[in-house]
Homo-oligomer: A and B are copies of this chain.
Amino acid sequence: MNDARDLVDGRHVAIVGAGLVGSGWAVVFARAGLRVKVFDSQAETQAGALRSVHEQLTALERHGLLAEPAAHVLARVSCEASLELCVDGAAYVQESTFERLDVKQALMRQLDATLSADAVVGSSTSGIPASAFASGLRISPQVLIAHPVNPPSLIPLVELVPAPATSARALAFATALMTGVGQSVVHVRKEVDGFVLNRLQAVLLREAWALVEDGVASCEDIDKTIRDGLGWRWSFMGPFETIDLNAPGGVADYARRLGPLYRSIAASRAHAKEWSEELIKDVESQRRQELSAESLAERRRWRDDRLAEFAAARDRREGS
């Protein structure tokens, strides 16, 4: 991972917005040997950031996912008293503020006034395109989306989505930096709603909810269909490789055999419907039978342990 250190050439990474996502990013960059400065305009969030980073590092260490003691990594992370101190001299800024257009616009105007011309800004937003909050500014060519999956310290995927104004240099830098710190980079070439990840998640969830609404299957049986069926292959191959291996002649053979069925399935679903309050209550009640509201937090820790085991197994396999 020395690539990343060469790339920033002694400069640091600034984390602006230090909630769950921001602190996860701090772990990703610090773990790769980079200096990280953190700022959050909410004093309370700022105060919790180092504790969150510490907890995440301890969990990684427990699963054998750190190459050095957690304390050494933590020592590379500092909190700064102002946005200016945080971003001054930064090679890269990861923006993870509240998911609201006006918040992002205000931040970009502030950065426009202070940021050096060669720093690149990645936004963690899961849905707002960079054009919507970084147009017409001096720094517009320096800004793009770098959308992670939570927590980014465990799940490697990051979607890079340039705006039309984003420079090729900024995209190339973000690609090299993210790859250098061990993330898995996906290039989203157009600013479409939901980028790629949430579009794929959206269509699957819409069909899942509709199957519950139509009385075809329970939530738990739909979860089983994925976790005991489709999900295994998708967790190490993705859908195109899966179907490429599922027909004797590969993906084109598969498409000609099953394309018409899939087309009729997709066409049979009216996608304009809202999830009614009644349906939401039904799904919630089904989920609460599987897992009580009081157990949500514990189950989230279980999930993160499983993800860490997943990451550790992947590291062993790839010898990294």
The residues of B that contact A267 with a CB separation of less than 8 Å are 271-272
B225 engages A240 (CB within 8 Å)? no
A223's contact among B202, B203, B241, B261, by CB below 8 Å, is which?
Answer: B241
Q: Is the CB of B203 within 8 A of A217?
A: no
Contact A208 B240 (CB under 8 A): yes
Contacts of A243 in B (CB 8 A): 205
Taking the nearest CB of chain B, how far is it from the CB of A227, in angstroms? Answer: 4
The distance from the CB of A253 to the nearest CB of chain B, in whole angstroms, is 9
Contact in complex: B226, A239 (CB < 8 Å)? yes
Question: Cα distance A149–B283 when bound, in Å?
Answer: 26
Q: Point out the residues of chain B lying under 8 angstroms from A255, CB to CB.
A: 275, 280, 283
A75 an interface residue at 8 Å Cβ cutoff? no
Q: How far is the CB of A258 from chain B (nearest CB, A)?
A: 8
A303 to B238, CA, bound (A): 12
Q: Indicate which residue in B217, B256, B303 contacts A237 across the interface (CB closer than 8 Å).
A: B303
Task: Name the B residues within 8 Å of A67 (CB-CB).
Answer: none
Contact call A200/B207, Cβ cutoff below 8 A: yes
Q: Of B156, B226, B235, which is within 8 A of A238 by CB? A: B226
The answer to the question of A265 belonging to the interface, with a C-beta cut-off of 8 Å to chain B, is yes
Contact, CB under 8 Å: B225 / A235:
no
- Bits for A232-275, please: 1 = Cβ < 8 Å to B, else 0: 11111111110111100011100110010111111111011111
Say yes or no: is A307 at the interface (Cβ < 8 Å to chain B).
yes
- Does residue A114 face the partner (Cβ distance < 8 Å to B)? no
Q: Quick check: is A4 within 8 A (CB to CB) of the other chain?
A: no
A291 touches B241 (CB 8 A): yes
Interfacial chain B residues near A227, Cβ < 8 Å = 234-238, 241
In the bound assembly, the distance between CA atoms of A212 and B261 in angstroms comes to 20
Q: Which 9 A-B pairs give the minimum distances between C-beta atoms?
A: A223-B238, A157-B229, A235-B235, A266-B271, A231-B234, A184-B228, A231-B235, A202-B262, A202-B265
Interface residues of A (CB under 8 A from B): 127, 149-150, 155-157, 159, 184-190, 192-194, 196-208, 211, 214-241, 243-246, 250-252, 255-256, 259, 261-269, 271-275, 280-281, 283-284, 286-288, 290-291, 293, 296, 299-300, 303, 306-307, 310, 313
Q: A224-B238, A231-B234, A250-B288 are in contact. List 12 more A-B contacts (CB 8 A).
A: A187-B218, A197-B225, A200-B207, A201-B262, A205-B239, A206-B263, A225-B238, A227-B238, A232-B307, A251-B280, A259-B275, A313-B313
